[in-house]
Amino acid sequence: MAVPMLDLKRQYQPLHAELLDAVGRVLETQQFILGEPVAEFERAAAAQLGVKHAIGCSSGTDALWIALAAAGIGQGDAVVTTPFSFFASVSAILRAGATPVLADIDPATFNLSPEAVEQRLKDQSRGAVKAILPVHLYGQAFHAFSLLCRERGLKVIEDAAQAWGAESNGVKAGGLGDAAAFSFYPTKNLSAAGDAGMVTTNSDEIAERARMLRQHGMRRRYYHDELGWNARMDGFQGAVLGVKLRYIEGWNQARHAVARRYHALFHLAGLAETGPYPSHGIVLPHEVPGTKHVWHQYVIRTARRNELREFLTARKIGSEIYYPVPLHMQQALKGLGYNDGDFPEAERAAREVLALPIFPELREDEQQTVVTAIAEFFAG
Percent of the chain with pLDDT over 70: 99
* Mean pLDDT over the full length of the chain: 95
Q: CA-to-CA distance for 301 and 279, rounded, in angstroms?
A: 10
Residue 158: predicted pLDDT? 97
Domains and CATH numbers, the chain: 8-104+112-245 (3.40.640.10), 248-379 (3.90.1150.10)
Give pLDDT tens digits for 127-162: 789 999 999 999 999 777 777 777 788 999 999 999
Give pLDDT tens digits for 236-255: 999 999 999 999 999 999 99
Sequential DSSP letters for 82-148 = -SSS-THHHHHHHHTT-EEEE-PBPTTT-SBPHHHHHHHHH--TT-EEEEEE-B-GGG----THHHH
Beta strands in 139-196 (DSSP E): 155-159, 167-168, 171-172, 179-183
Would the pTM count as exceeding 0.85?
yes
* Arithmetic mean of pLDDT, 163-188: 96
The SS3 assignment for 192 reads: coil
Q: Provide the pLDDT confidence category of residue 372 given band limits of 50, 70 and 90.
A: very high
Tell me which DSSP letter residue 190 carries.
S
